[in-house]
Structure formats: structure tokens, C-alpha cells
Structure 1
Amino acid sequence: MVNAVVTVQGGSLALHTLLGQGPARIPTGGKIRPGIMVLTRRAADLPGAKDIYTVGVAAGHSFEQIERALLEANPHCKTPLVPRNVPWFTVRAGDFSNPEIAAQILDAYGEDRGHGRRLYRFPVVFPSDHWQTVMPHELAAWGAHEKRFWSQYSADGRVRHCMRHAPVPVDDTGRRTIRIFGGRKAVQREANGGICDPEACPEYQAKQCNLTGRFLFFIPGIRSISALELPTSSFYAMSNAVQRFQAIAQMRGGRISGFLGPGRASFFLTKVQRDVPHIDEHGRAVRVPQWIIELEAPVDVTALLRDQEDDETAIRQAMLATQILEGADALCDAEVAQPGADAGAAPRASDPDEPTMDRCVAKATAMGIDPKRFQDYAARRWGSGWSEQLRCRRSAWDELARYGNDPGGYRDKIDAELHLDA
């Protein structure tokens, strides 16, 4: 199983190594399917195909394993399986590095609605506050064994490029390939000037290039150090999920990771039947019923807002206590400096490593955050006098360090916080 990776919320910056400097990562250890695969009509007529399929399903094999067995028995049948949309998720032992996890999920959250014990709805906890991290997606065209082309945005997020693998380099003789360190390189595709433009893309128009994505999450009560994934190719499922992520983030100060409240409330993934519009081959707009993945957040919204108010109150009370304590410290310093004390003692030198306002702003700017927006956010979070209080500057510095490997998530957090004042 190929492991996907996600950025862990709150992780520290990685050290420089031969493998580069990057965010903390965890592998995925299993896949929950959005539906099932069934035999095509042609494959069903082939000798032994039904038996291979039935035995594989009963044994809990993944659909890839079943398809490989079918191809070995009937090499001339190129596509023996096709997807079928159903109202439940498929959980099969063969899709997990630890097969026991499949049984744990079904035991904990499975239901029998007349088709045996199936997974219709289950809770999820996301490991990052950046929705693009927990729901990665792209336009991609696949060949028989690998991804041929895929979309990728430029560093500033303004241009969507069409990427491909670079040719394997050869030595001066032209007969021997050069060993590549770190894997094959990616380059922009020459066609269309390296721009991803679906309307002008022959692969997209031929339905060879499609939108693909996946949700990355943990399931409460399922003991696994690895995240799980749920793939999807539904534009509607992903766009609706983005709206849910953004709504919850606005009410939680930019956070979508972890539980959503003190009662261990969480997001849920389920499937709902909706009439999905699309354009048929004759250019007509038609609607077809489909079971669509839906991200739910069945939480008390007022409780989320109260939690944020409580956080703000606690921060302001802590700031007031800090001001009082620092005022007392200043008074003690003044008394020490009075005649009769050790007036000849040298004043305490300031620590050069202590975070100043300028250092905090510079660190935020290096993360791609507008300096003024950061100062507006800091004033809202730690008070208008945050730059004058050492403890507030330390809090700001620590928060910048926590989000050092997830600057996009921190920008989302700042935008959500400032949006509440708009």
C-alpha cells in the first residue's frame, strides 16, 4: 500500500537532513471505500470470473486484489470491474495494513439496515487545521501503472500548472540511465505551455483526466497511529466539505482539528442521496440521483461560540493578571534602587533571545503573513498592549513556532479570527 502523508497540526519544524526540511508527517494505514466494485457484463460471462469475485469478496480482499486475480485468469479482459454507487461505505480487511482495523470499525460503527452489517456513518477527527491538508485533491490522468499528468498550483497559488514526470536522464554515452536521488523529478508539461486548462485539455475532454481527492482522518476509538483515508471523485462532496470546514473554522478561531467541543463532539462522514446535475453527451442539463459523501458537524453551534468567548475571557484575565504582576515587579525594582539598597548593582541586562515585537512580526512575514494583519490579529488575541508585555510576546512567539510547519493553516486561522471583527 502506498502511504499518503498529512501535515500534523502543531508539529515543530523539521531539521535539515538529506531528505530535506519538511513538516512532521504520518502515514496512512488503511482505506475506506466510498462504494463497491462489481463485475462488468462481459467479465461475468467469462469462465470462473463469478467464482473468483465471490471468493475474493467473502475473504475480505481489496478490489485491486480481486481485479488482479480476474486479469490473471482472463488476460484479454482489460476492465473486469466497474464501480457501483451504494448507500454505504466499504470496509475490507485487504485495504488495511492491519486487517483487524476493518473489523474494529464495523464492530464500533456498523449498522444492519437490511443488507448485513455495513458502515453508513462514522465519526472522524482531522489532524490539521488546514483543510487543503486533510482533503488533498487534484486533476489527474492515470496510465496503466502510474500517474501521467496532474495539476499543481504555483507557489503563490495563482497559476494551475499541468505536471508530468521528467524523462529519466542518461549519461554521456546515451546508453546508461543516471541514478536519480530522491525519486523522479516533476516538470511542467509542454502542451498548453504547462498550464492546466480543462476546457482545452484533450485528456480531460476524453474523460481520461478527472478530479480526484481524499479525506484524511482518525476515527475515535480505533487504535491506530496511522491516519485513514476515504477517496472520492465527487466535486459536490468536496466543495460541500470545504463549506463545512470554513464554517466550523470561523467559529473555532481557525481550528478544525481535534474534537469540536468539551463533549468530544466530532465531524461525521455519511452518505446522502441527491440529484446531481451534469451535462449529457447531447449538451443537455440532466439530474441523476447519486449517493454523495457528506461531511456533517452535528454540534451545538452556540457552544462553539461560547467556548471561543471563554477562551477570549481567559486570555484577557491572564493579561490583566500579567499587568498587575509586572506592575508589582516594577515596584519591587524601584524599591531595590532606593538608597539603602545595593544601589551599586548593575541593572539586569535584557535577554537577546527574548522575542520582541519586531522579531514576531518578522517571523510572521517570513511565513507569508501580511505584517499589518498579524499585528491586528495579535492585538485581538493578546490585547492592544501585547507588544509591551513580555508574556504576550512569548505567547505570540510560541504560537508562530507551533504553526511554523503549517503557514497556510496559520493564515487561515488569522483570516477567520479577523473575520469575526468584520
Structure 2
Amino acid sequence: MTAPSVLPAVTLHGGPSAPASVLGRSPARIPTAGKIRAGIKVLTKRAAAEPRACEIYERGLRDGHSFDRIEQALAEALPQLKNPLVPRNVPWFTVRAQDFGNPALARELLDAFGEDRGEGRHLYRFPVVFPSDHWQTVMPHELAAWGSHDKRFWSEYSADGRVRHCMCHAPVPVDAQGRRAVRLFGGRKTMMRETNGGVCEPEACREYQQRECNLTGRFLFFVPGIRSLSAFELHTNSFYAMNAAIQKFETVAFLRGGRISGFLDGQRTPFYLSKRLMEVSHIDEQGRAVRVPQWIIELEAPVDVSALLRDREDDETAIVQAHAACGVLEGEPAGPVMPVDEAEPAPAPGEPTLDKVVALAGGLGVGRADFEVYAVRRWGPGWKLNQRGRRRAWDELDRHRNDAAGYADKVAAALREAP
């Protein structure tokens, strides 16, 4: 099987734009190495009654073909079968060689993270890291209506993010004689759809009400241990999966100072993608809420939240120290050079000195040696050298004046943890 010469790319409509160039300011594009799919497709009851269809389907599975390729083969061999495959929800992710530019990547993924839980070796749970700190970039999504060859309509937000527009391709202009299409630079142009004044309103949209326009999205990520310069993608049409992922992204970003990219902590903890069986509700044709069990994609962040908070505090200490270093480089006096344990810059009026902080810790039953080890783990090694670090230590001690025993237990528990 020959790998394609050009890798596919995901265009992020409504996301960050690439820098302006002769090609224009187009939406950012992330090259992708292959697709991991959320489920499988099986033969319809009618197609399963055809021996020839069963043979084509089984051979396609055996050869690692994508379900699109299998469906195409069925259509060519048995044109009387309309839509011979239907999606089926399963507890694993589908990894097929033909969905990857380099088919060997599919085998690497299954070898590294696949499990056999009684139904063959499948991908149930695997680690991922994201290449951007903007969740809109690593989980692009839209409402879209597709024609037989390309996308007819799709949603796109205005620059201020307040209005969701319905977009479509603009008509191709013709020359003055009306005989030849004008050669377009940069591909087909887009425009707001005239219906509904260009506003995307699913409740008032004919295509949405007839299920021709649907929510579609994808996760874009790298898999630790799988060597690829291009990202992998996992498609989903589940509102529940995407909405839950947004909440996880926003929580992690809050804890990490706006970051969701890369590993989550110093222990190289990644996100994980898995599936969870949930009861989800939908509205049937009679307007009744119906609950059905579904395997929903779940984004996991198995990290110690307190460790993330400590990382942020250490980062802030490093920033303070960096400002002092910049001052030295810019010619500001650095003061006498002293060993770290003896350094005690003169505090501003009303700010606690190191001796006062240590004395207050002693008053709460925590000895100097133990408190300094604890403080280094909590605020970083430079906490005693800067006014802000000492103030944070003082404020914590001050909050525990009426609970000396509780504070001593807290410090002792922290010291028992592995450094």
C-alpha cells in the first residue's frame, strides 16, 4: 500500500488565522497523519442477507481497509444496495491501516496501547498530548451540511465570537462574455448564506430539521511514544463528548495558568482518551425525551490537582527571580553576594522578615529546619529571597494561628510525601 505524497490537513474555520501572506490570511491548518475512529460500521440487515456483500465486508476488514473504502467496494459490486453500512457504537476505538498515510502507525498504536478484553485486540484507552493551548484549535467543531462531493453549508463565528453565521461557497464568477469561469486565486471564495440573513439558527434551518446538517467535531493530538510530525485526529458527533471535553480543557487551563498543551506536570502525565458507557437523552419524533445507553468519548486528566497548583506557585517564584536577574543584566546594583541560607534582603516597611516568618512557624509547632524544607517544596527555593515569597509564607502561617496542631500535621504530611 502506497502512502499519499501529501498529508491531509484540518482547516480550523473560525479558529486562529495563519499570518498574512501572498496566499492571504487563511484559517490555520494542522497536518494530520491519520484518523482514529470512534466506532465501527456494520452491514445493514438487507446487506447482510447478500452473500456477496458479506464476502466483501469480511475481506475489507481482514485487509485493514477503511469503512469508506469497504462501502465504496460494496456500492461498485452491488449498486442495488443503498447505504449498505450503518454505524455501531462500541466500547473501543477503531484503528485501521488505510486511515493512515503511513499504515505502520496503525500497527504501532495497537501494539503500544491495544488490549484484548475478550473481543480481539482493540484500542480502549490511550495517552494524548495537545499541540495548542486553545481548545478551539485542538477540538475544532462546526455544524455542517454535506453534499455528494463537498460541504454545502457550515457554521462559523464572527470575529467577536458573538454571532454564529451560516457560510457557503460563493458562486464562481464568469468572464465578461459569460462563457468561461474566472480563474480563482487561492481557491473558492466563501460567503454568508442568504437564508436567515446569514445567521445559523438550527431551529429555523431546513437542513438541520431534516438531519442533513449536524454537529461534527474532532480532537487533534499527538500520542506519546508514536513518532509522527503530524497530528492524529479522532472524529466525534457527540455533543456530550465535546461539551464534557471543553469543561476539562477549561479546568486544566485554569489550574495551569492557561496551558493545556504538552504534558500536564513534571511527571510527564498526559491526557487520556477513553470511552464510558452513559445514558444520554434525545428528543424523539413525538417530542419526548428518551434515554439510551451510549459509549461516549471521555477525556481524562489523571493528575494531582494540588501538584498543578504548586507548579503555578513555583512558576510565580521563578518570575520574581527572573525580574531580579534582568535588573542585574540591565546594570542595577545586585547587592552583596551571600550564601543563600544567609541572604536576607531588606524588607519594605511592614513586610515580614525571614526571622519573623520562621519564628511564627515555630510558634505553631514547626521547627525551622522542617519549615524551610516544606516552604521550598511549596513555594520554590527562592521564597525566602524575595518579599512576595516571604509574604505568601507569612499569610499562610497567619491563617493557621488558631489551628497550630492542624498546621503542624499539614507540614508533617507534606514532608512525608516523596520530594
Shorter-chain TM-score range:
0.7 to 0.9
> Residue 80 of structure 1 aligns to which amino acid in structure 2?
P
Query: Given the alignment, which residue of 54, 57, 62 partners 1:53?
Result: 57
Determine helix, strand or coil for the equivalent of 1:269. Answer: strand
Query: Given the alignment, which residue of 305, 311, 316 partners 2:315?
Result: 311
1:155 equivalent in structure 2:
159
Determine helix, strand or coil for the equivalent of 2:225. Answer: coil
1:21 is displaced (CA, Å) by 4.6
1:289 equivalent in structure 2:
293
The gaps in structure 1 that reach 5 residues or longer are: 332-382, 385-422
> What do residues 122-180 of structure 1 show as CA deviations (whole Å, max 9, x unaligned)?
00000000000000000001111111111111111111111111112211222211111
Query: Given the alignment, which residue of 249, 253, 261 partners 1:249?
Result: 253
Q: Given that residues 6 and 134 in structure 1 are in contact (C-alpha distance below 8 angstroms), is that contact kept between their aligned partners in structure 2?
A: no
2:9 equivalent in structure 1:
4
Following the alignment from structure 1 to structure 2, what is the Cα–Cα distance between the partners of residues 64 and 197?
31
Write the mapping of 1:30-109 to structure 2, written as runs, cut at 5 A.
Answer: 30-109=34-113
Following the alignment from structure 1 to structure 2, what is the Cα–Cα distance between the partners of residues 205 and 50?
34
1:200 is displaced (CA, Å) by 0.4
Q: Given that residues 6 and 133 in structure 1 are in contact (C-alpha distance below 8 angstroms), is that contact kept between their aligned partners in structure 2?
A: no
Q: Given that residues 175 and 181 in structure 2 are in contact (C-alpha distance below 8 angstroms), is that contact kept between their aligned partners in structure 1?
A: yes
Query: Given the alignment, which residue of 151, 161, 176 partners 2:180?
Result: 176
Distance of aligned partners of 1:14 and 1:193 in 2 relative to their CA distance in 1, 3 Å threshold: closer
Following the alignment from structure 2 to structure 1, what is the Cα–Cα distance between the partners of residues 23 and 312?
39
Following the alignment from structure 2 to structure 1, what is the Cα–Cα distance between the partners of residues 272 and 324?
39
Q: Which has the higher contact order (CA 8 A, sep 6+)?
A: 1
Following the alignment from structure 1 to structure 2, what is the Cα–Cα distance between the partners of residues 137 and 15?
22
Q: What is the aligned-residue RMSD (CA, Å)?
A: 2.4
Is 1:142 aligned to 2:172, yes or no? no
> What do residues 356-393 of structure 1 show as CA deviations (whole Å, max 9, x unaligned)?
xxxxxxxxxxxxxxxxxxxxxxxxxxx99xxxxxxxxx
2:353 equivalent in structure 1:
none
1:318 is displaced (CA, Å) by 2.4
Q: Given that residues 6 and 27 in structure 1 are in contact (C-alpha distance below 8 angstroms), is that contact kept between their aligned partners in structure 2?
A: no
1:47 is displaced (CA, Å) by 5.0
Following the alignment from structure 2 to structure 1, what is the Cα–Cα distance between the partners of residues 87 and 104?
25
Write the mapping of 1:271-290 to structure 2, written as runs, cut at 5 A.
Answer: 271-290=275-294
> What do residues 265-296 of structure 1 show as CA deviations (whole Å, max 9, x unaligned)?
01000000000011111111111000000000
Q: What is the percent sequence identity of the aligned residues?
A: 68
1:202 is displaced (CA, Å) by 0.9
Following the alignment from structure 1 to structure 2, what is the Cα–Cα distance between the partners of residues 104 and 120?
15
Paired residues, number: 330
Following the alignment from structure 2 to structure 1, what is the Cα–Cα distance between the partners of residues 301 and 234?
17
Distance of aligned partners of 1:195 and 1:247 in 2 relative to their CA distance in 1, 3 Å threshold: same
2:233 equivalent in structure 1:
229
1:323 is displaced (CA, Å) by 3.9
Query: Given the alignment, which residue of 125, 150, 170 partners 2:129?
Result: 125
1:76 is displaced (CA, Å) by 2.8
Following the alignment from structure 2 to structure 1, what is the Cα–Cα distance between the partners of residues 27 and 213?
29
Q: Given that residues 87 and 271 in structure 1 are in contact (C-alpha distance below 8 angstroms), is that contact kept between their aligned partners in structure 2?
A: yes
Following the alignment from structure 1 to structure 2, what is the Cα–Cα distance between the partners of residues 83 and 286?
20
Determine helix, strand or coil for the equivalent of 2:184. Answer: coil
1:300 equivalent in structure 2:
304
1:220 equivalent in structure 2:
224
Q: Given that residues 6 and 216 in structure 1 are in contact (C-alpha distance below 8 angstroms), is that contact kept between their aligned partners in structure 2?
A: no
Determine helix, strand or coil for the equivalent of 2:126. Answer: strand
**Under a length normalisation based on structure 2, what TM-score does the superposition of the two structures give?**
0.75
1:3 is displaced (CA, Å) by 2.0
Distance of aligned partners of 1:151 and 1:328 in 2 relative to their CA distance in 1, 3 Å threshold: closer
Determine helix, strand or coil for the equivalent of 1:115. Answer: coil
> Residue 260 of structure 2 aligns to which amino acid in structure 1?
I
> What do residues 235-260 of structure 1 show as CA deviations (whole Å, max 9, x unaligned)?
00000000000000001000000001
Following the alignment from structure 1 to structure 2, what is the Cα–Cα distance between the partners of residues 326 and 196?
54
The gaps in structure 2 that reach 5 residues or longer are: 336-385, 388-419
Following the alignment from structure 1 to structure 2, what is the Cα–Cα distance between the partners of residues 110 and 86?
15
Distance of aligned partners of 1:323 and 1:70 in 2 relative to their CA distance in 1, 3 Å threshold: same
**Under a length normalisation based on structure 1, what TM-score does the superposition of the two structures give?**
0.74
1:5 is displaced (CA, Å) by 3.6
> Residue 211 of structure 2 aligns to which amino acid in structure 1?
K
Write the mapping of 1:312-391 to structure 2, written as runs, cut at 5 A.
Answer: 312-323=316-327, 326=330, 328=332
Distance of aligned partners of 1:19 and 1:104 in 2 relative to their CA distance in 1, 3 Å threshold: same
Q: Which has the larger radius of gyration?
A: 2
1:196 equivalent in structure 2:
200
Distance of aligned partners of 1:188 and 1:126 in 2 relative to their CA distance in 1, 3 Å threshold: same
> Residue 281 of structure 2 aligns to which amino acid in structure 1?
P
Q: Given that residues 130 and 222 in structure 2 are in contact (C-alpha distance below 8 angstroms), is that contact kept between their aligned partners in structure 1?
A: yes
Distance of aligned partners of 1:168 and 1:330 in 2 relative to their CA distance in 1, 3 Å threshold: same
